[in-house]
């Protein structure tokens, strides 16, 4: 049954009916598919065995119905295509649960979760945008939480900020989603596997028009208004204020100086490396 929640990714016409059926049968929107990886990136055990992973394994052991089990992942084909897992994952899940836990605790492997509702976020939007926004809100009201961490530990807030440039120049969908996530108590200073926050991703996002720069600044201001820590450093020792200085946008992070005019001080495409 939990796999059915992913069906709205491929059945957009029946999305609302599928969603209502799932909710009516006790499913919540935080259903996710685990994907295991060999830890060649050197993540420490606190990442490999983080709170999200511990919670997932707790649900497995308690037999909760609202979870895609490792056993169900062994079934082929796994439907829909968007929820399929890698060959390495299929290899790992053949092991006893206790052995998988040991590998995670020892930092030999790590796991990323794919949440179906993350596919509704900006960057993935297809028109009509208003309907997508309504569906994001519906998911948040039925079990999806902004702290759900997907690929590389990215939350919905981080994903939205990362994909700022992917929306059309005059679109306000991104700001609406960021505000919506904050209303549902998104943790503005939450960090991904690399120590990056939503502000890191917002500052780093590329722009090539005045409109995109203005939107980028407005999103940064929303984060500032919610007490984002501009000095948090990522795993490379770089903070959002460091990145803003490189771009010439340090004033955006000063609440007494920042404005929402989005005046472009530098023309053309600009990105932080």
Measure the CA–CA gap between 177 and 136, rounded to whole angstroms. Answer: 8
Provide the phi-psi class of 237: left if phi over 0, else alpha when psi is between -120 and 50, else beta.
Answer: left
Tell me, what's the pLDDT at 12? 61
Predicted TM-score of the model (pTM): 0.85
Q: Where are the domains of the chain?
A: 146-255
Peptide bond into 128 cis (omega under 30): yes
CA 255 remoteness from chain centre: 26
Q: What is the pLDDT of residues 115-136, one digit of tens each?
A: 988 888 866 545 456 777 888 8
Please answer whether residues 158 and 198 qualify as being in contact, where contact means their C-beta atoms are separated by less than 8 angstroms.
Answer: yes
Please answer whether residues 53 and 70 qualify as being in contact, where contact means their C-beta atoms are separated by less than 8 angstroms.
Answer: no
Measure the CA–CA gap between 104 and 36, rounded to whole angstroms. Answer: 10
Q: What is the pLDDT of residues 162-204, one digit of tens each?
A: 988 665 545 677 888 999 999 999 999 999 999 999 999 999 9
Architecture of domain 146-255: Alpha Horseshoe (1.25)
């Amino acid at each position: 049954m939990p796999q059915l929640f992913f069906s709205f990714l491929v059945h957009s016409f029946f999305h609302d009916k599928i969603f209502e059926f799932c909710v009516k049968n006790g499913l919540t929107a935080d259903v996710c598919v685990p994907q295991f990886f060999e830890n060649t990136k050197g993540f420490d055990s606190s990442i490999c065995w983080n709170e999200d992973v511990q919670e997932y394994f707790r649900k497995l052991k308690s037999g909760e119905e609202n979870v895609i089990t490792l056993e169900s992942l062994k079934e082929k084909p796994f439907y829909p295509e968007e929820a399929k897992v890698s060959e390495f994952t299929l290899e790992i899940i053949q092991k006893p649960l206790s052995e998988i836990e040991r590998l995670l605790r020892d930092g030999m492997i790590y796991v990323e979760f794919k949440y179906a509702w993350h596919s509704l976020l900006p960057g993935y939007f297809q028109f009509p945008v208003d309907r997508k926004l309504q569906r994001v809100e519906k998911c948040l009201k039925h079990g999806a939480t902004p702290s759900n961490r997907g690929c590389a530990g990215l939350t919905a807030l981080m994903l939205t900020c990362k994909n700022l440039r992917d929306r059309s120049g005059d679109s306000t969908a991104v700001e609406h989603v960021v505000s919506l996530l904050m209303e549902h108590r998104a943790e503005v200073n939450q960090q991904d596997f690399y120590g990056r926050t939503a502000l890191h991703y917002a500052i780093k996002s590329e722009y090539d028009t005045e409109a995109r720069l203005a939107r980028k600044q407005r999103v940064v201001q929303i984060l500032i208004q919610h007490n984002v820590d501009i000095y948090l450093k990522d795993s490379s020792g770089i903070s959002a204020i460091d990145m803003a200085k490189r771009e010439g946008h340090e004033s955006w992070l000063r609440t007494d100086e920042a404005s929402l005019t989005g005046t472009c001080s530098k023309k053309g495409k600009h990105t932080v490396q």
